[in-house]
Amino acid sequence: MNTIRPNLIIFLLLMASVVCVSPFFMSASIFKGNILSLICVILVFVMKNGISSKKALVAISVLMFFSFFNVLYWNQVTIKVGIYFCSALFIVFLLSYDDLYKYTDYLTKLLLLMLVGACIGFLYALSGGEALFYTVNEDTALNGWYLTTFSKFNMNGITRPAGIYDEPGALSFMLCICVALRESLSMKRRDSWILMLAGLVTLSTAHVIFFVLYWMKVKWKNPKTILTSIIGLGVSLLLVMSFDNPVNTIVSYSLNRFAIVDGAFVGDNRSYLITAAYSYLDIKTFLFGLNGDCIMGTPICALQEPKFYCCNPLTLIVHYGAFLSLPYYITLGYLGFKSIQRRDLVILGVLLLLLQRPYVMSYGYALLLVLYVYAIGYKSMIGKQTDAERRLITFTNPSNNGAK
């Protein structure tokens, strides 16, 4: 009984943060992904005795206070958009170090399983295999199931595996945050390297950038290790690209996305979105968002002209306004501060990911990111603990013997 309860909490956390965002749940008729995610969060809260911490109550109260300005302006219950972030705050302060450690450990295992499927599906499509069936993403794009993985991209047999998600960038995002969590908890780096290397199969530009930052943090300790790691990487790339093989295909495609064509990177699909978002900004939009109906997600919003301002640092302030989007920009500020304070390139990598994917207030992702931010803070608290308290943590997690 003592083992079942903690493991059930970890299972619910994984369901709420990682599994429910899959397109499998987008087409569910009874419990869609966002509802199922909230139910899992509520169950965790109940299993943790249903008593929220004072820190959570203060933080949520402050956010609600500012959100009411938006409600008054639009005369609509726009405050609802903060439900996923606030629900994550309700439970995150109730979690122990042991909960965070087990969550990250099981998350690693789940993502490793997805990566096995991603690699199998990549080879299946490369050898001429076709999608077994299709689902329709929220953006109406077709998402094909290639034996063991989703992919909405297929160019002459080259797919970008997405695991159980709607697009490859989502899988890469999960992998990078998992590695960042492992690093913040000083877990062994063997599995982190596997996640980073195997994750290149997503052919994500952001994944390559995060991988480089992780590699620099881990390997660049002094001039000798810098030189050795650069030479080793260069020799490895030359060997891999000297003959036709699946790895060569992945590396070539990834490197080609950094080629400059007409003054821009081939893989840059954000610059024009930032420009478009900026064009909508005025004092009203900055404070309250572009449109109350769109904030509420009402059908009338879809009848208005298309507004291509997604997936960039200005997205939330254009869509929600400053009062509602505070969680996102506070998170960016905190990560920026911590990355400078600790000179930590992995935290910087997470910050860069959030500039591309502002998911702090999205269901599933909100909980994952709040857990990561909490883990960073937890590391600071552990640094202030007494030797006796540290020994207690080590006894609770005997495998937590530092990053290696």
Q: Which helix (H) or strand (E) holds 44?
A: helix 33-47
Q: How far apart are CA 62 and CA 323, in angstroms?
A: 11
Q: Which residues contact residue 268 at a Cβ distance below 8 angstroms, ignoring those fewer than 6 apart?
A: 205
Q: Does residue 154 lie in a domain region?
A: yes
Q: Does residue 159 lie in a domain region?
A: yes
Q: Does residue 401 lie in a domain region?
A: no
Q: Does residue 58 lie in a domain region?
A: yes
Supply the range of the domain harboring residue 245.
4-396
CA proximity to 177, closest of 356, 380, 401: 356
Q: How far apart are CA 249 and CA 169, in angstroms?
A: 18
Q: In what order do the strands lie in the sheet with 142-145?
A: 133-136, 142-145, 150-151
Helices (H) and strands (E) in the chain, counts: 18, 7
Q: How far apart are CA 350 and CA 336, in angstroms?
A: 10
Q: Is 128 left (phi over 0), alpha (psi -120 to 50) or beta?
A: left
DSSP code, position 357 = -
Q: Does residue 274 lie in a domain region?
A: yes
Encoding tokens for residue 315? 């997205």
Per-residue pLDDT of the chain (404 residues; tens, 9 = 90+): 456 777 899 999 999 999 999 988 766 557 788 899 999 999 999 998 877 788 899 999 999 999 999 999 999 999 999 999 999 999 999 999 999 999 999 999 999 999 999 999 999 998 999 999 988 887 778 889 999 999 998 888 889 999 999 999 999 999 999 999 999 999 999 999 999 999 999 989 899 999 999 999 998 877 777 788 778 777 776 776 666 667 677 777 666 666 666 655 555 667 778 888 888 899 999 999 988 888 887 656 655 555 677 888 999 999 999 999 999 999 999 999 999 999 999 999 999 999 999 999 999 999 999 999 999 987 655 544 444 444 444 444 444 444 54
Q: How far apart are CA 17 and CA 41, in angstroms?
A: 9
Q: Does residue 403 lie in a domain region?
A: no
End-to-end CA separation in angstroms for the chain: 33
CA proximity to 127, closest of 137, 119, 115: 119
Number of independent structural domains in the chain: 1
Residue type, 261: V
Encoding tokens for residue 85? 């972030």
